[in-house]
Amino acid sequence: MTVVMNVNERTETFEVIVIGAGHAGCEAALAAARAGCKTLIVTPNLDRIGFMPCNPSIGGPAKGHLVRDVDALGGEMGRAIDRTALQIRLLNTSKGPAVQSLRAQADKALYQLSMKEALETQDNLTVRQELVTDVVLEPVKHANGVRVSAITTEHGNRYLAGAVVVTAGTFLRGSMIAGTWSASGGRAGDVAATELSSSLTEVGMNLRRLKTGTPPRIDARSVDFSKMQQQHGSDRPLWFSHDGLHGRLQRIELPPLPMYPGLSLDGWRNQMPCYLVETNPEAHAIIAANIDRAPMYNGAIQSTGPRYCPSIEDKVVRFPDKTAHGLFLEPEGWRTTELYLQGANTSLPQDVQDAFLRTIPGLENVSITRYGYAVEYDAIDASELNVTMESKKVGGLFLAGQVCGTSGYEEAAGQGLVAGINAAAHATGGEPLILRRDQSYIGVMIDDLTTQDFIEPYRMLTSRAEYRLLLRSDNAETRLTEVGYRYGLISDERLSQVQDEISTIEQRLQALQKHHLSPNKRTGELLESAELPPVTRSVTALDYLRRTDVTYHQLASAFNQHGIVIDEIEDWSLPAHMAERTEIEARYAAYIEKEIAMVERARKLEDRRIPSDVDFRSLTSLRNEARDKLDRLRPATLGQASRIAGVTPGDVAVLMVYLERSGEKSAV
């Protein structure tokens, strides 16, 4: 980075500048602009805005929760996928509501179009196609003595800003590899950001090398779909976004190409199926015989890839006794013959990719349109970030997305949204947004990123959230809409609608608690009218709703038919999403209360701030490992300190005593 005393040349001045227009960059720029800041987003290629370089899908376990969080805060990802989905499903329906999550296949070209439209029509936001080469710093008398003041581009343009958000994805010294072939770039067709990577290291930022990968794409015309199992979308309406749920979106859709069997064009929305196949011992034998040609195993790639999205060669090596691995063929759009081969990430040479795929039933004559490859790239170390996504070393410099060591579009979007909000707050002197672990999946992710050492790309999992029953997809708006409103991302109308829904559900629950169902003729007729099971003892209607064989719609129908009026509620009908929420709140009330109590017990640690200037190495009562970890990661609270690997409860107790004594001295 370049440290300057004075800035004499300039082109334009902005309050917030966002570098990169991937999923993190789009959300960051939109958030800053919606918060009222004059914002610039700079990207090397305007045709790559919101691009899906890997899987053409949004959501999945835990990832769908992140998208709902983003939407509830006023982000764009949920709206974009609702407008452009080819198919949508609710996953984990056989499990509890805490882990149920939406997943949608996208028309990747239309998704880009939707996101580009959102950027181009957003007030306060300027979009530019330029390659950023340097982040300019200037000295200050506070914090770490330096803050961001501008960026420069390859054409020599200089843009001044109060805050800068770097969302460079996999482009920092990105390198693509397959077999013996390699090339510079963060993805096929796009150049690496080598100078920007050097700019970050010059200021002393610690970078680490990570790996990701992508599978082959294949031509649908070369596939025998009759040998494959079809996987269809939901036959009931499902939406990621508030606007989709309330009918406020204009969908973007094209007539499908005719070669795909199983198209559903007469339901609540047109949908395309995905297709399931499996590898076999012959395919595994080909991969194993060529493992010495795989960069991961011959030393050409030394960085660590994502544990939960391994390459096909990694699966064969790690699970030698497994005779088959599932692969999904996922359409990339309504009007393209390209299929994404989910589950076949690889950096094997092209001839090996051809050979092993043609052993799979239905792919005997497959034509590969784009071969798979791996990507190595620089990512910042966890010790570099605050929970606001701001750099600990450079004031006003924020980072988000894969550059922070995560994997996935959804993780990037969540970070980008928070970084954009906080960049706007920094530029205008506002209060920063810090999301708690009990408040959102985004809060869990950011807390993990800033307290844990990850040697592989981070992926959001429901198991990472200790309060996941409080962080369900269905209650995202209850948790976060007022937060988004506070930062200017949510309209008055939307806030009012969400508050009305919360109030209505609470009124229904309280009224059901007051009404008793007794085992008599009148109750029997009431329940039978809605095909509900009888009661054998007197119970409240709320307790009755807790039964798994009772739905709110049935109970509401019975009450309406028999004119049951409680607390002036005459019409018990509710929209589907509110009825589902009412059932969940009723059935899981005891577990929800238990988690709330756990949150309250932990709040003492979460709220206890650790001064930023604490000299951990001087605290001799701490173990050596704890001193090293605390000094490097610099936790903001005792709660964060307790989650650092290598910091024991005893170390936390030492810190607590130190803070109490320090507080007493300060008071004196």
Domains of the chain: 217-373 (2.40.30.260), 492-591 (1.10.10.1800), 608-667 (1.10.150.570)
The answer to whether residue 570 scores a pLDDT higher than 50 is yes
Asked if pLDDT for residue 18 goes beyond 80, the answer is yes
Between 552-561 and 521-528, two packed helices, what is the crossing angle to 10 degrees?
120
**From 163-172, 435-444, 522-531, the region with the lowest mean pLDDT:** 163-172
Q: Which residue has the higher pLDDT, 23 or 658?
A: 23
pLDDT, tens digit, 9 for 90 and up, residues 574-586: 999 999 999 999 9
Give tens-digit pLDDT for 108-124: 999 999 999 999 999 99
Evaluated on CA atoms 528, 530, 534, 540, the torsion sign reads negative
Q: What is the pLDDT of residue 1?
A: 57
Q: Is the pLDDT of residue 529 over 60?
A: yes
CA 386/CA 74 separation, integer angstroms: 22
Higher pLDDT, 602 or 238: 238
Vertex 81 angle, CA 345 and 423, to 5°: 90
Q: Write the Ramachandran bin of 117: left for phi over 0, alpha for psi from -120 to 50, otherwise beta.
A: alpha
Least reliable range by pLDDT among 3-7, 128-132, 156-160, 206-210: 3-7
Quote the CA–CA distance of 192 and 198 in Å, as a whole number. Answer: 12
Judged by average pLDDT, the poorest of 175-189, 252-266, 421-435, 570-584 is 175-189
633: left (phi over 0), alpha (psi -120 to 50) or beta: alpha
* Residue 299: CB atoms within 10 Å: 7
For residue 274, give the amino acid letter. C
Mean pLDDT in residue range 449-461? 87
Rg of the chain (C-alpha set): 27
Determine what percent of the chain falls in helix, strand and coil, rounding each to the nearest 5: 40, 20, 40
Amino acid at 378: D
Place of tokens 């179009």: 113
Residue 29: closest CA among 137, 136, 149, 115: 115
457 neighbors 402 (Cβ within 8 angstroms): yes
**Which of residues 222 and 186 earns the better pLDDT score?**
222
Band the pLDDT of 443: cuts 50, 70, 90. Answer: very high
Geometric angle at alpha carbon 496, from 490 and 497, rounded to 5°: 95
Average pLDDT, the chain: 91
Give dist(CA 378, CA 654) in Å, integer. Answer: 36
Antiparallel, parallel or unpaired: β 397-399 and 158-166: parallel
> Does the structure show a pLDDT above 80 at 190?
no
pLDDT at 604 over 70: yes
Given a cut of 60, is residue 455 above it in pLDDT? yes
CA distance 464 to 466: 6
pLDDT band at 665; cut points 50, 70, 90: very low
pLDDT value at residue 553: 97
User: In the predicted model, what is the mean pLDDT of residues 437-457?
Assistant: 91
pLDDT of residue 473: 96
Helix (H) or strand (E) holding 166: strand 158-166
Query: What is the tens place of the pLDDT at every residue in 473-507?
Result: 999 999 999 999 999 999 999 999 999 999 999 99
The whole-angstrom separation of Cα 43 and Cα 21 is 6
d(CA 475, CA 450): 26
CB 420 within 8 A of CB 18: yes
Percent of the chain with pLDDT over 70: 97
- Give the dihedral sign, CA 649/650/656/659: negative
- DSSP count for the chain of H helices, then E strands: 22, 23
Task: Decide: 125 and 41 in contact? Cβ < 8 Å.
Answer: yes
**Phi then psi dihedrals of residue 208, to 5 deg:** -130, 160
Flag whether pLDDT at 664 surpasses 50.
no
User: Distance from CA of residue 383 to its chain's centroid?
Assistant: 21
Percent share of the chain, pLDDT over 90:
69
Please name the residues in contact with 341: beta carbons below 8 A apart, sequence gap of 6 or more: 215, 216, 217, 218, 327, 328, 329, 330, 357, 372
CA distance 115 to 20: 13
> What is the rounded average pLDDT of the residues 212-228?
95
> In 3D, which of 662, 517, 498, 635 has the Cα closest to residue 578?
498
Q: Check if the beta carbon of residue 112 is closer than 8 Å to that of residue 280.
A: no
Which residue in this structure is represented by tokens 């034998």? 285
Of 412, 445, 380, nearest in space to 25 by CA: 412
CA-to-CA separations, 108 to 70, 128, 272, in angstroms, rounded: 20, 22, 14
| Burial of residue 522 (number of CB atoms within 10 Å: 0-12, 13-18, 19+) | exposed
Reading the block at residue 379, the tokens are 């990512």
Q: Looking at the predicted structure, is the pLDDT value of residue 460 above 80?
A: yes
Q: What pLDDT was estimated at residue 621?
A: 87
pLDDT for residue 323 is more than 50: yes
pLDDT for position 155? 87
DSSP string, 101-137: EEEEEE-HHHHHHHHHHHHHT-TTEEEEE--EEEEEE
The Cα–Cα gap between 151 and 158 comes to 6
Confidence of residue 645 (pLDDT cuts 50, 70, 90): confident
Reading the block at residue 19, the tokens are 């570098």
pLDDT at 10: 53
pLDDT in tens, 231-268: 999 999 999 999 999 999 999 989 998 888 888 888 89
Tell me the angle at which helices 552-561 and 576-587 cross, rounded to the nearest 10 degrees.
Answer: 110
Retrieve residue 105's tokens.
């296949």
Please calculate the CA angle 227-232-236 and round it to the nearest 5 degrees. Answer: 165
Element containing residue 373 per DSSP (H, E): strand 373-380
Residue in 308, 305, 325, 307 with CA at minimum distance from that of residue 316: 325
Burial class (CB within 10 angstroms; exposed 0-12, middle 13-18, buried 19+) of 220: buried
Burial of 51 (0-12, 13-18, 19+ CB in 10 A): buried
The pLDDT value recorded for residue 139 is 87
Cβ distance 403 to 168 under 8 Å? yes
CA pair distance 424, 418, nearest whole angstrom: 10
Of 22, 124, 2, 77, which is closest to residue 428 (Cα–Cα)? Answer: 124
The pair of structure tokens assigned to 572 is 């018990």
CA dihedral 240, 246, 248, 250 (to 10 degrees): 50
Of 533 and 642, the one with more pLDDT: 533
Average pLDDT value for residue range 75-96: 97
β 274-278/229-231 pair status: antiparallel
pLDDT of residue 668: 30
Residue 9: per-residue pLDDT: 55
Give the β-pairing of 39-43 and 12-19.
parallel
492 burial type by CB count under 10 A (0-12 exposed, 13-18 middle, 19+ buried): exposed
φ, ψ for residue 187 (rounded to 5)?
Answer: -165, 165
